[in-house]
Every structure is written in C-alpha cells, then in structure tokens.
Structure 1
Amino acid sequence: MTWQHFKQAYLIKFWAPAPAVIAAGILSTYYFGITGTFWAVTGEFTRWGGQLLQLAGVHAEEWGYYKLIHLDGTPLTRIDGMMIIGMFGGCFAAALWANNVKLRMPRSRVRILQAIIGGAIAGFGARLAMGCNLAAFFTGIPQFSLHAWFFAVATAIGSWFGARFTLLPLFRIPVKMQKVSAASPLTQKPDQARRRFRLGMLVFIGIVGWGLFTAIDKPKLGLAMLFGVGFGLLIERAQICFTSAFRDMWITGRTHMAKAIIFGMAASAIGIFGYVQLGAEAKIMWAGPNAVIGGLLFGFGIVLAGGCETGWMYRAVEGQVHFWWVGIGNVIGSTILAYYWDDISPALATNWDKVNLLNTFGPTGGLLVTYLLLFAALMLIIGWEKHFFKRKNQSAVVTAKETA
C-alpha cells in the first residue's frame, strides 16, 4: 500500500461508524484498565466551571458536588483534563488532515439560543445522572452499573421529545432564494489541502510528543493524553455523535450509528469484565430518580442543542461556531447542577442504592444480563427501523393513490 493510498483511505476519508465505535469501546476498556479511571468528559467540564467561579471569588470548593468530584489541581494535573486536551488535539489533527476546518457561523440567532439552552439542559442532566453519553454508554453500561441503563432508556425517550420539539415551526430557518447564472466553482483547493495536512501532522506529532514527554515523569497523565488523542481521532474521522444516533432514528429511521453504539458497548463489556475480575474497581453510581430525570433532560438537551459531548467537541474544532456555544452551555448547565446538588441529591440520588449487576446476579450472571439487555436494545432498534420504513412506505402509497 502506497503512502498516498493510505493517506486518502484512512486519514482523509471518513471512517465507517461501526468499526470506529467498536474501536472506541475497546480503547475505553484499556483506558480504564491502565489508568484506573473512566472515559468521561462532563465531570471535567464541571470542574472548569467551578474553577472559573473561583477566579471570580466564589468558594465553589465548599460545594458538596465539588467535594465529591474533587476540584484540586488544574486540567494539566488531572487525568481527565489531560485526556480532554488530547481529545481536542486528536480532533483538530484529524480535521486538518481532511481539510475539514472552516469557520462556520450559526445561521440564525435561534440556533445560538438552541445551542446555549440545549447545552445547558444536557450539561445539567448529565451531571445529575452522574454520566453523559460517554460516562453512561461507554462507561456505566459496560461497567455493569444499573443506573446507566436507567439513564440510557431515559435518554432515548428524552431525545424523542427533543426531536419532536425541534420540528416546530419556531426552529425552521427561512431559506433565501438567489438567482445565479452559473454553477459555483469547486471550493476544494489542492494547495490549501496539502498545507492543512502538513499542519495536521505537526499538531498530531506535537500532541503525541507532549503526551510521551509527560509520561516520563507522570505516566498516568501522559497516557491519558495519548488515549485522548486516540479518542479524538476516532470521533472526528467517524463523526461519532450520539445526538445524530438518536435524532436520526426518530426522524429519518436511520439506525447505523445507534447499532454501532450497541456493538461498541458489547466490545467494551467483556474487557471491563476481565479487568474487574482482576481487581479493578468499576464505576457504580446511584440507581435513583436522578438517573431517569437526568437522562430525560440530557436526551432532550442534546437534540435541542444539536450535539452531545463527543459531537460538539469535534465539530467545535472543525470551526462550527454553533458548537462553541453548545460547549459553553454545557459548562453552564453542569455548574448550575453543582450549585443545587446539596439540596436535591438526598431525595434524587445519594439515598438510593448503587446497584452493580455483577454483585446482584453474580459475575457470570451479571455479564449475561448485560449482553441480554444489549441484545434486547439491538432488537428494539431493528424493530423500530422496520416499523418506521413500513409506515413511511404505506404513507407514500396512500399519497400516490390520493393524487392519482
């Protein structure tokens, strides 16, 4: 295989979703096993909000939520912080390779409001449930925590309501018709693409070098950054977005990404099971109303905003300004949750049990139950897809008869 063929096939073209999501699931398993922590981002974004408040003179470190997730250090001294920096670096390098970086402004003020409000709702819901799409789907479910299943089902329901809500006339952008006398020229510029590719390689080498250099004295921090680079490459090149997975399923009947997510969790679960049997401690959170309410809010919020945690991160570095606002909204929403946590957590979360399926059903039973639930989810997705297109075809036949 020549370099040019490899470059075009694997660095410039988008990757197929299913293999990429499975790879992300496997990578998240090794991330857990090697670093002892979990692939999650909203907890760190919440810390960013708390530290911004500290700069403004607010003693956020005294809030119960920040005592729970720890506000010590900086993003450069925290595993999650270094992993997220690596993710942004990996996303940016991958976008540059494909010449997919361009400043794109929101098309209307309504879109900006959607981004901020939706991002805030999603951030609030994610932190209430103690898990976003990554911390629940790629951490909680493969790590056998019942709360993640509550969150997943509630997210699907919330995304359905979000999809219906965003179809309202309020969110329709007027289309401006413009008369043209000839087709517009191609926007792809070979010289620019080559320069961008070289810059992408420099970014990639730089961020990997940073991770390796850090790993010499602080192995976990350096490895976290390197794993983050891998996560970033995967989500940008395969355009992995949970928002599109749920929204497309409800609106267009497309289920490719939703199925890929199931496969990714299945690939991760067996690896996590192995690490847990060797003594690693899985992430088990409260299986209370917080997981259900948080999932409903998260599902609604990501569809309203147009992007989940992975989606807004790679789209933001591609130059889509809309998703900068989604990220800001996410930090705002998660910080608001941290402020109210002490008031609402006893009733919604901390007085409820943390249910580990491996403890409830035994190691083999817990693994089997997880795979049965994943299989049931896959069957529901396939069933919905068939129902959607059957109903669509029937509607098309009726319309054809009425117009005949």
Structure 2
Amino acid sequence: MNPWQTFKQQYLIKFWNPVPAVIAAGILATYYFGITGTLWAVTGEFTRWGGHALQIVGIDPSDWTYFKMIGFQGSPLDRTDGLLLIGMFGGCIASALWANNIKYRNSPHKIRIFQALVGGVIAGFGARLAMGCNLAAFFTGIPQFSLHAWFFAITTAVGSYLGAKVALHPIFRIPLNLKKVTAQAPLKQNPAQVKNRFILGSSIFMLLAIIGIVLLFFKPMFGIALLFGTAFGLLIERAQICFTSAFRDLWVTGRTHMAKAIIIGMMVSTIGTFAFIEAGIAPKIFWAAPNALLGGLLFGFGIVLAGGCETGWMYRAVEGQVHYWWVGLGNIIGATVLAYYWDDLSPYLVADFEKINLLQKAGPYGGLIINYALMMACLALVLWWEHRFFKKRQAAKTQATVNASVQRPINVIS
C-alpha cells in the first residue's frame, strides 16, 4: 500500500480515537474564541433558523425579546454563527463521503419517531433556556469560567440519568424481527460508488476551504467561522463525538471513555482560554440562575430520550439516519418555543440573578484553580462510578452463578 493509500485509510476512512479528537476540538474552540471573541455554539443559530421558518409562514419574531437578545439580523449567510453551522454540516458530509458512510437508514416505528421528536423538543427548549447546549453551556462554557456552565453540567448529568431510566422503560421497546441465517453475509461495497463518493467528499471539502480562504480577505470573521466550522464537522463525524453517549453510557453500560475524553478536552481548553482572557478578550458569561439548572435538567433528559445531542444528531443526520432528522427538527422547534415564552419565564428564572465569572469572584488564579479542581473532581467521580458499576455487575454475575448451582437438582444414585 502506497503512502497516500495508507494515509487515506488511516485518517480519512477509519474512525478516529475520540480522546485526541475531543482534545483537538477543545484546542480549536480555544483558538476560535481567541480569534473571534465568541464561542463554538450551535443552538443559538438553530433558534434563529426557527425564527426564519416562522417568517416563511407569515410570523415575524424579530420583535421578540429573545431574538433581540441573541441577534436576528440578516440570514445565516450574514452571521458568523450561520457560517459556522454551514461549515459543520459541510465538514460532516465531506467526512462521511470519504468513508462511504452515507446510507439511508430509517426506523419507521412510531415510538422511535415520538422519542426523537419529543426528546428533541425538550432538549432544544432546555438548551436555549440555559443559553447554550452541550457546547456553549458545557464544553466551551466551563473553560470560559462561567459559573452557569457548572450549574448546567450538574443538572444535565441528573437529567440524563432520569432520561436513561425512562428510555429503558418497556413502553419504548419495539418488537424485534429475528431472521434465521445460515452464514454471515459478506460486506459488499461498490468500488465505483466508493471512488465517486470520495471524490465528491474531497470536492465539498476543497470548496469549503477555498470559500473560507477567499472570505478571509473580504470578511475575515466569516472566513474564520466557515473554516473552523468545517474542522469541527470533520472532527465530530470521524470521531463520532456525541455528548449524549458520554452521559448515557455512564448510567446504562458503565462505559466512561467519552466522558473522560470530554473532561480532558475541557482541561486542555481551559488553560488556553485563560491565556486569551488574560490578554484582554472578554469571556461569555451568563446568569448563574435557575434557568441554567432547569435548562440542564431538561436538556439532559431530552438528549437521552431522543438519542442524540446537538453534535450527535448533526453528524448522524448527514449520514442518512432518518431518526436524527426528527431529533434536529425537534431541537429547532423546542428552541423556538423557548424564544416565544422567554418573557414569561425570565422574570422568575433569570431576573435578579448575577452573571458570575469565576475569574472575577476568586481572582484570576483562584478562578483557574477552582475550575481545574472541579474538573478533577468530575474525573475522579467518573472513575469511581466506572469502578463501582463494573464491581456491582461482577457481583451480580457471581451471585447468579451461585443461585443457579444451588437450584440445580442433584441426582442421587441408589
């Protein structure tokens, strides 16, 4: 195999290890903040997309308080967040095409559609209530030293636990149609299709890269957003980065690989973000208020019920998994509903609460130490839970073996 084929197979076709990929995402998010002064975030733009959908049907939400707060001017092509999302979708598509990983996959069962849509609505509502999803209110929010992100993270974990309990209820189990087979079916790929898809994926990637570079000379922030978005899209699709699995797997299977990767990624991102803040770039700080607590609870519950978070449904949707089209639609609906009811909720959940910056409350190095101490505590808790989970599982297996041996009838030879 020549060097190009080796590189292609290793880095463009095979899935990537999530740990270095999440660390890379954390580094990219840090530099994106350092260059643009804003966050790697998606649900704010999805809310605007919901607003544009309302405009199409004759409803103008531009006077709503929430849209005035997050900005609603122009179209996605006129906003850095819009270009960032376009880049993310484009990067996901290019990456999936490289690996020939696009296939129409539909689960028509009504229960699955219900889970996807309702879970998506709950998650989208909760994310925008808390002013961010698993990115702005968690993965990039914590390195920004905003206390609200810690509120969100804690209740997201609780919500995901409750969501796992509900999602495992028998009512959500669909009947399986088992078929008897005599031999394993061989994996078939059309060589021409594989080649054409790789070329198409490369063309999409090159187009995004060229447009991004050209924009750097005319509208630098737009070019940066498109290029960084493309890189984020490549990362989340190739490494299958899904925050839902990080939380859900803790409770269901005891697997902690993704959870540990995310914590390590935030640790790496924190020091770089701190350096940029010390250099004079203002972090994005939101209310450490009940909206963050309730939003995290709803978000955690919703993503597990739906089966995917914002990053998770994005890359799975472009891979052809129809279930996640419904999740995405639910996300946009939920976020838009929150925007409509913001004026009714904010007096109780946001008003009179402070936006708490840990660096200001505890001093620059005090805030840095607090952030790292909390992340180390989270890592220790994850490791403890993993040990406890598998220890209990092994004890249950041992007890089941003992019970089976006791109940086994004994043949007496007379």
The TM-score, its normalising length taken from structure 2, stands at 0.96
Structure 2 CA distance for aligned equivalents of residues 278 and 103 of structure 1: 48
Aligned pair count reads 404
Question: Shift of residue 108 of structure 1?
Answer: 1.2
1:139 is matched with which residue? 140
1:290 is matched with which residue? 291
- The answer to whether the 8 A contact 2:33-2:40 is kept is yes
Question: Shift of residue 37 of structure 1?
Answer: 1.3
Structure 2 CA distance for aligned equivalents of residues 195 and 259 of structure 1: 37
| Greater Cα offset, 191-200 or 393-402 | 191-200
Question: Shift of residue 276 of structure 1?
Answer: 0.6
2:238 is matched with which residue? 237
1:192 is matched with which residue? 193
Question: Shift of residue 177 of structure 1?
Answer: 2.0
After superposition, the C-alpha distances for 1:302-333 in whole angstroms (9 at most, x for unaligned) are 00000000000000000111101100000000
Question: Shift of residue 197 of structure 1?
Answer: 1.2
Structure 2 CA distance for aligned equivalents of residues 186 and 10 of structure 1: 21
Q: Greater CA radius of gyration, 1 or 2? A: 2
Question: Shift of residue 261 of structure 1?
Answer: 0.3
Matched, 1:10 2:20: no
SS in 2 for 1:57: coil
After superposition, the C-alpha distances for 1:126-173 in whole angstroms (9 at most, x for unaligned) are 000011001122221000000000000000000000001000111112
| Greater Cα offset, 342-351 or 237-246 | 342-351
Matched, 1:206 2:207: yes
Question: Shift of residue 35 of structure 1?
Answer: 1.4
Question: Shift of residue 182 of structure 1?
Answer: 4.4
Structure 1 CA distance for aligned equivalents of residues 270 and 27 of structure 2: 9
Question: Shift of residue 350 of structure 1?
Answer: 3.1
Divergent runs of 4+, >4 A: none
After superposition, the C-alpha distances for 1:6-60 in whole angstroms (9 at most, x for unaligned) are 1111111111011000000000000011112110000000001111112222220
Structure 1 CA distance for aligned equivalents of residues 118 and 66 of structure 2: 22
Amino acid at match of 1:175: L
1:78 is matched with which residue? 79
Amino acid at match of 1:64: T
Amino acid at match of 1:38: L
Q: Structure 2, unaligned stretches of length 5 or more? A: 406-414
Amino acid at match of 1:138: F
1:399 is matched with which residue? 400
2:93 is matched with which residue? 92
Structure 1 CA distance for aligned equivalents of residues 402 and 190 of structure 2: 48
Structure 2 CA distance for aligned equivalents of residues 183 and 362 of structure 1: 62
Amino acid at match of 2:227: L
Matched, 1:382 2:386: no
- The answer to whether the 8 A contact 1:28-1:138 is kept is no
After superposition, the C-alpha distances for 1:66-118 in whole angstroms (9 at most, x for unaligned) are 01001101100100000000000000001011110001112411111111100
SS in 1 for 2:140: helix
Correspondence list, 1:300-315, <5 A: 300-315=301-316
1:256 is matched with which residue? 257
Structure 1 CA distance for aligned equivalents of residues 224 and 146 of structure 2: 26
SS in 1 for 2:41: coil
- The answer to whether the 8 A contact 1:51-1:71 is kept is no
2:276 is matched with which residue? 275
| Greater Cα offset, 232-241 or 348-357 | 348-357
Amino acid at match of 1:285: F
| Greater Cα offset, 131-140 or 191-200 | 191-200
After superposition, the C-alpha distances for 1:341-364 in whole angstroms (9 at most, x for unaligned) are 001102101321000000010001
2:409 is matched with which residue? none
Amino acid at match of 2:122: I
Q: Structure 1, unaligned stretches of length 5 or more? A: none
2:43 is matched with which residue? 42
Amino acid at match of 1:149: W
- The answer to whether the 8 A contact 1:137-1:265 is kept is no
- The answer to whether the 8 A contact 2:37-2:283 is kept is no
RMSD, matched Cα: 1.0
1:366 is matched with which residue? 367
SS in 1 for 2:156: helix
Structure 2 CA distance for aligned equivalents of residues 96 and 206 of structure 1: 14
1:228 is matched with which residue? 229
Structure 2 CA distance for aligned equivalents of residues 387 and 257 of structure 1: 18
Question: Shift of residue 190 of structure 1?
Answer: 2.9
Structure 1 CA distance for aligned equivalents of residues 243 and 184 of structure 2: 35
- The answer to whether the 8 A contact 1:139-1:283 is kept is no
After superposition, the C-alpha distances for 1:234-266 in whole angstroms (9 at most, x for unaligned) are 000000000011111110000000000001111
Amino acid at match of 1:233: L
Structure 2 CA distance for aligned equivalents of residues 138 and 399 of structure 1: 41
- The answer to whether the 8 A contact 2:130-2:292 is kept is yes
The TM-score, its normalising length taken from structure 1, stands at 0.98
Question: Shift of residue 372 of structure 1?
Answer: 0.4
